[in-house]
Amino acid sequence: MQIIPVVDLRHGVVVRAVAGRRAEYRPVSSCLTESTHPLDVVNAIQTATGCRTLYVADLDGILEQSPNLSVLRDIAGLEIELILDAGVRDLAGLAALRGAVGDSRLVVATETWTDFSALIAHGIPQDVLVSLDLQSGLLQVVDHDYRRMPSQALVADLVDAGLREIIVLDVAVVGTGDGVPTLTVCQALKRSHSGLSVITGGGVHSAQCVQAARSAGVDGLLIASALHDGRFQTWDLGHEA
């Protein structure tokens, strides 16, 4: 299982995400660096963790359709694999983001994507992940065609269209340290779709959370607050994390 650090961007700086209350997000205070500049924070995370992959959530793109493209280009230019959620809403937006950031893995999120039928008809590109966005266990989806369908139906259609990797994230627990509530969903996805890679996170508070995610068969675990609080460095994760 891969540990994947998370960077949340808002108005050009790194912020601390707490329970999905995005209006309350404030510039991050981190034991890794005194800076809130994205490149400084990313470099500090790389130094502390040796991570090969980074997940970036651009809240200006997600909330206002105004992504921090210059910052994203700078991060994409580093020697790190970038998973990017910038709030793309349709195929045109996906193509534009790909053109702006180059060789990155791009997130299509249920909370922002407007037409999954078009994506399915087009076929899922290899650089695209889909994020199942939950709020206290409830799927957040803006596509009217799938709003009343169970999430399993959407995932099945996406897998049939070529989806290889999915993120399951409940924003209600992000930054809370209350544990990862999505592991049951992840296990069900792994059972139903044997070739599907599953990433989750939110609420990670200890090495026990990491071990539970590994036991659930999760392929990647997103971590942010534990990094900035200094807890991650004290965990004994063995050799597989």
pLDDT at 205: 85
pLDDT at 110: 97
pLDDT at 203: 83
pLDDT at 18: 73
SS3 string, 19-41, reads CCCHHHCEECCCCCCCCCCHHHH
Helix (H) or strand (E) segment spanning residue 88? none
| pTM of the predicted protein model | 0.92
For each successive 10 residues of the chain (241 residues), what is the average pLDDT?
A: 94 83 80 95 93 94 93 92 96 95 95 96 96 90 89 94 96 78 95 96 88 95 91 65 50
pLDDT at 182: 93
Among residues 88, 84, 63, the alpha carbon closest in space to that of 75 is found at: 84
What's the rounded Cα separation, in Å, for the pair 83 and 6?
9
Tokens of 162: 């070529």
DSSP sequence for 165-219: EEEEEEGGGTTT-S--TTHHHHHHHHHH-TT-EEEEESS--SHHHHHHHHHTT-S
Domain limits of the chain?
A: 2-234
137 in Cβ contact with 101 (< 8 Å) = no
Helix (H) or strand (E) segment spanning residue 46? helix 38-49
Angle formed at CA 11 by CA 7 and CA 29, multiple of 5 degrees = 50
CATH architecture of residue range(s) 2-234: Alpha-Beta Barrel (3.20)
pLDDT at 239: 44
Tokens of 49: 């963790």
pLDDT at 63: 92
Tokens of 24: 């309350």
